[in-house]
Structure 1
C-alpha cells in the first residue's frame, strides 16, 4: 500500500484526483489552504501562516531566505509547495509575484534590498539616521496599504459595514498590539453616533463584559498573528452565548475566522520586530466613516 501511494504521487495521479493540476492563482491558493488547514502538520501550518502574512517576502526572496524568516528549514517550504499540488518552489513564487504590479513592485524591491543588507550583516536600518528610518517604515506601510485595498475587493466589506450599522451596539475587543486599533475603533464609532463599548478586560472582568452583550448587539474582535489569547477567549465566549461576532484579522487561517459571521483581512506592515498599525487603522477609519454615513451622520474632523 505504501508503494502504491508513492507511485500515485510520483505520476501525478494523486494530484489529478484532488483536482490539483488545474491552473492556480492566489485566490485559488488561499482556498486550497483553507480546505487543507486541518490536514497540515503544525510546521506546515506555520509556513501557511507566514506566506499569507508576508506575501511580498514570498514573491521576492529565495527559498533559503523565506525559510530563515519563517524559522523553518528549507525542506519545509518544499513540502509546503508540494502539499499545494505544485512541483517547484518557483511555481509558488510566481503566484505571489503575479500580485505585485506597478509601483508596488518598486517598493517591494526596495524592501528586498533592506533584507539583503541584513543578511550580509550590515543591519536593516541605520537607527542613527531618523530620515532613513522614516523612509523605510513609510515604504513598508505603503506596500501594506495597497494590499489592504486589494484584499478588500474580494472581502465582504459592504456586509461588514451593514452588520455594524444594523447592530444595536458594538462591543470592540482587541488586546496587546491590536489594542490601539480597537481603542480607536471604539472612539471612532462613538464619534459618529454608534453605541459602542470597549471590552478592555478591566479588573479581569472579561466574562462580565461578554455577559453585557445583548442579543441584537455585535462583538467586533480584532487580532493579528500572534493571536492574543484573551481576544480569542472573548470571541469564543460570545459565540457560546449565542452572540454574533465579526472580526478584523490577518488571514483566512486565523482562529477568529471560524467564529465570525464576517471577517476582513489586514496584513500588517512589518520591519524586523516592528509592526505598523497604519493598514489596520486606515481600514477601520474607512469602516467608521461608512457606518457614520449610512447612519445619516456627517463625518467631520476628529
Structure 2
C-alpha cells in the first residue's frame, strides 16, 4: 500500500520518500522529516512494532501523521492528527487490502487535486 502511494505521488510529480530501507536506514531517513512534511503511516493488527516506534519518533519531531489502520484503538492512532479506520475482509489470516487500496488511491488523487488547485505549492 505504501509503495503504491509513493509510486502514485511520484507520477503526480509530488516529491515523497518511502521509508522502507533494507539497509536499516529508517532512523536516519526519519531524522530529516520536519513539521513542513507529512507522513502517511500504515499498520494493521497485529501492528508492526517498528511502524509504531517510527510513528512515535516522527510525532515527537512535530511532523503531522495521517494513519491508515484498522481500529481507533490502534497504537498508531495515538500519534496521528488524522486516521482512517479501514475494515478489511480477512481470509485465514490474509487481509484482502481492497478497501485500503481504494483509500490509498483516493488520498493520492485528493493530494494531487489540492496541489493543482494551489499551483503545486506547499503551504508554509
TM-superposed CA distance for 1:202, in Å, is: 3.0
Task: Report what 1:226 is aligned to.
Answer: 46
More strand by share: 2
What is the aligned length?
117
Residue number among 266, 271, 277 corresponding to 2:97 in the alignment: 277
Residue number among 109, 112, 118 corresponding to 1:289 in the alignment: 109
Greater radius of gyration (CA): 1
- In structure 2, relative to structure 1, the CA distance for the partners of 1:294 and 1:243 (3 Å cut) is closer
Flag structure 2 segments of 5+ consecutive residues without an equivalent. 118-124
Residues 1:266 and 2:86 aligned together: yes
- In structure 2, relative to structure 1, the CA distance for the partners of 1:228 and 1:218 (3 Å cut) is same
TM-superposed CA distance for 1:187, in Å, is: 0.8
Structure with greater contact order relative to length (CA < 8 Å, sep ≥ 6): 2
Show CA shifts across 1:40-98 (max 9, x none). xxxxxxxxxxxxxxxxxxxxxxxxxxxxxxxxxxxxxxxxxxxxxxxxxxxxxxxxxxx
Q: Summarize the alignment of residues 59-70 of structure 1 with structure 2, pairs less than 5 Å apart.
A: none
Q: Secondary structure at the match of 2:23?
A: helix
TM value normalised by structure 1: 0.37
TM-superposed CA distance for 1:212, in Å, is: 1.4
* Aligned mates of 2:24, 2:69 — CA distance in 1: 24
Q: Summarize the alignment of residues 127-146 of structure 1 with structure 2, pairs less than 5 Å apart.
A: none
- In structure 2, relative to structure 1, the CA distance for the partners of 1:255 and 1:275 (3 Å cut) is same
* Aligned mates of 2:50, 2:20 — CA distance in 1: 10
More helix by share: 1
TM-align CA RMSD: 1.4
Residues 1:200 and 2:20 aligned together: yes
Q: Summarize the alignment of residues 64-79 of structure 1 with structure 2, pairs less than 5 Å apart.
A: none
TM-superposed CA distance for 1:235, in Å, is: 0.4
* Aligned mates of 2:76, 2:84 — CA distance in 1: 11
Residues 1:252 and 2:75 aligned together: no
Task: Report what 2:122 is aligned to.
Answer: none
